[in-house]
């Protein structure tokens, strides 16, 4: 585990990210007080691959989808 100051982290962030990738933890401090810890994120779960058209025929867009809503017009235009 390394402890570095904020200015050092700003100046050499790429170097510390490489260290993190190799499993090291880095503590960033400001005025000798630890304020943050840099560590490698856990592996994200793989997302299911989306297949175009997989919901075909399971959803139908209503014919009046783009029609104005009377309640909205009454509220918006004050009718």
Report how far residue 73's alpha carbon sits from residue 79's, in angstroms, rounded to the nearest whole number. 7
pLDDT given for residue 35 in this prediction: 96
Q: What is the per-residue pLDDT for 46?
A: 65
DSSP label of 6: H
- What's this model's pTM, rounded to 2 decimal places? 0.52
2-38 CATH choice from 1.10.10.60, 3.30.2010.10, 3.40.1620.10, 1.10.540.10: 3.40.1620.10
Mean pLDDT, residues 53-78:
85
Res 45: pLDDT: 55
pLDDT at 44: 54
High-pLDDT (> 70) share of the chain, % = 95
Q: What is the pLDDT of residues 46-64, one digit of tens each?
A: 677 888 988 888 988 889 8
Distance CA 27, CA 8 (A): 11
């Amino acid at each position: 585990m390394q402890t570095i100051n904020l200015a050092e982290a700003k100046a050499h962030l790429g170097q510390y990210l490489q260290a993190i990738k190799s499993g090291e933890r880095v503590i960033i401090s400001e005025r000798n007080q630890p304020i943050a810890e840099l560590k490698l994120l856990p592996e994200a779960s793989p997302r299911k691959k989306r297949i175009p058209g997989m919901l075909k025929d399971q959803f139908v867009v209503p014919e009046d989808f783009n029609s104005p809503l009377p309640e909205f017009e009454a509220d918006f235009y004050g009718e």
